[in-house]
Amino acid sequence: MTYSRSNHLENMAIAYEHDDAYADLEIDQAVLDDIARTKLILSGDTQTGVLEDCSYISVDSQYQGHLSPGQQRLYDVLRSWQEGSVYTITTIGKLARMMGLEHPMACGKRLENLQSLGAISGLRMQ
C-alpha cells in the first residue's frame, strides 16, 4: 500500500467521522434515512451476490496501517464479524448506533476512509 494525496490521513476529513461535524448542516431526513438503510454484507469477498443495492465488503484482516480511533473501532467490529461468520448483513444505521453515533453519515465517512486506506474493499456509496 502506498500513500497518495487522497488516502493520507490528513486529507480524509476525519472531523466528518463524528456527529458534531453535521450539527450545523441541514440535511433532508429522507437522505439520512437512505444512508442509514444502506445494506452492508461482510462475506470475505467483494464479488456481488444475489442481493441487490448493497455492498459486499471484505475486510483485510492483515491490515497494518495507522487508523484513527473511530476507524480502528469500526475496523475491529467489521473484522470480528467477517472472521466469526460466513455472512453478516447489517446497515450503516445499525453500525452507527452500535458505535454510539447519532448520525449515519459519520459512520459512512468512517467506512469510506477505511476503504481509501485499504483496510476494507467493496464499499459502494451511491
Count the Cβ atoms, other than its own, within 10 Å of residue 57.
25
Contact 117, 65 (CB under 8 A): yes
Express each pLDDT in 108-117 by its tens digit: 999 999 999 9
DSSP label of 8: S
Express each pLDDT in 64-104 by its tens digit: 988 989 999 999 999 999 998 888 899 999 999 999 999 99
Exposed e or buried b for every residue in 103-124, given b needs 16+ CB within 10 A?
A: bbbbbbbbbbbbbbbebbebbe
The residue to which cell 453500525 is assigned: 95
Confidence of residue 5 (pLDDT cuts 50, 70, 90): very low
Look at residues 78, 81, 91, 110 and name the one whose alpha carbon lies nearest to residue 38.
91
- DSSP line for 46-60: -S--S--SEEEEEE-
Look at residues 126, 111, 32, 49 and name the one whose alpha carbon lies nearest to residue 77.
111
The per-residue pLDDT for 106 is: 94
